Structure 1
């Protein structure tokens, strides 16, 4: 059978990613999808995966990491929603050509709790009625 030439370039080989799922950028105790998202995001932002490079198929990455495919699909969908990846039906998921500036990890807001005042109608304070004692 004769091979018909096409104008499209062959897609680069999709290799395994060396994901760091235990680094300081990954939240311990988070869901598998969230940890995978954080690891992939770190790889993209740090430049280990270049813009336009394909990400492994979800089944391949699920097998590589030991996570369920649903977790991989969820992580990919979040990468796409946040602008770190682009998906093309039938072609796969690729690192976005323009990677958004990653906001610094949000500082946890300091919550200031004021102690309730000591008065007759102060909320959260129960006073013993001295007449009943």
Structure 2
């Protein structure tokens, strides 16, 4: 019987509402590099393909007037994007200095590693995990 051999994530897609805010947050603050930018008038959006590392990309679909994400209570669907870091305290201080909404550092109950959540301009949760 055939068994798929998935071995890495190619990309993660996020819908944003404001081009300038999303681009500034993901490129200028988080440091993702732009692979390509496509303005798609037929879809009334801009698609930014961003590089996280040699294997993983982030696709930003920026569409003005996109519906708000249901946050509380949480609903079915993807919960959040998680990034690894080697210095969560310095990263937290940097994000705060950039005006990013950041939660306190806490210990992951399962891995006992430091973690925190911060939020993009559309209030989408992003986890930092050390």
Q: Same fold (TM over 0.5)?
A: no
Between structures 1 and 2, the one with greater strand share: 2
Select the structure of larger CA radius of gyration: 1
* TM-score, normalised by the number of residues in structure 1: 0.23
